[in-house]
Structure 1
Amino acid sequence: MGDKTEKTGSDSGNHTPSLHPVYTVTNIQHKVRVLDGSKVTYSSWVKLFQLNARGYKVLDHIDGTLPPEEGDPNRASWLEIDAIVLQWIYSTVSDDLLVRILETESTALEAWNRLKKIFLNNKGPRAAALEKAFTNLTLKSMPSLHDYCHKLREIAGQLADVDQPVSESRLIIQLVSGLPPEYDVIAAQLNKDLPP
């Protein structure tokens, strides 16, 4: 993986170096949205990032694969590519998260793990706070019905990040319970049918 050039050629012995796919990415933010922990959840960001890492043949920089040993001729190329993957991570997280994971000397895997720790450690307290926000959210506290529905979905996504997924039926029940009395007829119909 770490070799920047691959030898290809015909029977005549011609060798044409090819550029590693990672060098073709000009702006990773066009492919991976910025992780902020609310609009873009950690689990969504990880899926997008890993998809691109696989497609550009750099998944081994974030999956725990060991780098080439000192003295390995591929090490310099691997370190160069790792720096690019590290730039991808740093450029696809919010400013608040960046200051928490930015280190002078770091590999992409180390930054990946620091970010993972932020989102997956302290799951209990985080889940409790999110659960409270989810159950206490009402339409009255939001500027519009659209914003209310969007916020419920957003919190449900964050709960999934801390291994507390919200089922579709529970999401609808919570949506209905946060509606004011003037929505009673619609609420009764939704509770009766529990649509997806």
Structure 2
Amino acid sequence: MTKEAISESSIKPVPLHPAYSVSNIQSKIRTLDGSQVTYSAWVKLFRLHVVAYKVENHIDDTPPPAAKSPEYAQWKELDALVLQWIYSTVSDNILKRLMDTTVARDAWLKLEKQ
């Protein structure tokens, strides 16, 4: 067996993060509009999903990994995904107020204040 074959056979695939399996968050979390779907109902649904899909650390007060750490690239990718979930589950009027946010935690806090 060649050195190349040995090293290729010893490589273990990295499992896909559960959050990547969500294809349509709007079918799981109704749109926050403030009248038919209230903030408290939306938060309850959203929290259930971030826990189930293991991305709760993007909306709670867990600090992100250091930008130079090996975990940062995946954290940044997942944070963009959670931010997309937030953007896609709020009404257009609310979305306008969130568009200046670049991380999920900031959008979450901004919604909480409103």
Aligned partner of residue 69 in structure 1, secondary structure: coil
Per-residue deviation, 1:106: 1.3
Question: Could you say what the CA RMSD is over the residues aligned between the two structures, in angstroms?
Answer: 1.1
User: Is 2:86 the counterpart of 1:93?
Assistant: no
Distance 2:59 2:92 in 1: 21
TM-score (norm 2): 0.88
User: Is 2:70 the counterpart of 1:109?
Assistant: no
Partner in structure 2 of residue 31 of structure 1: 28
Give the count of matched residue pairs: 105
| Mapping 1:124-135, distance limit 5 Å | none
Q: 2:60 aligns with which of 60, 63, 75?
A: 63
Higher relative contact order (CA 8 A, sep 6+): 2
Which has more radius of gyration? 1
Distance 2:76 2:67 in 1: 11
Q: 2:71 aligns with which of 55, 69, 74?
A: 74
Deviation string for 1:78-100 (max 9, x for gaps)? 00000000000000000000001
Paired residue type of 1:106: T
Per-residue deviation, 1:102: 1.1
Task: Indicate the percent of aligned positions where both proteins have the same amino acid.
Answer: 54
Distance 1:31 1:71 in 2: 34
Moved over 6 A (4+): none
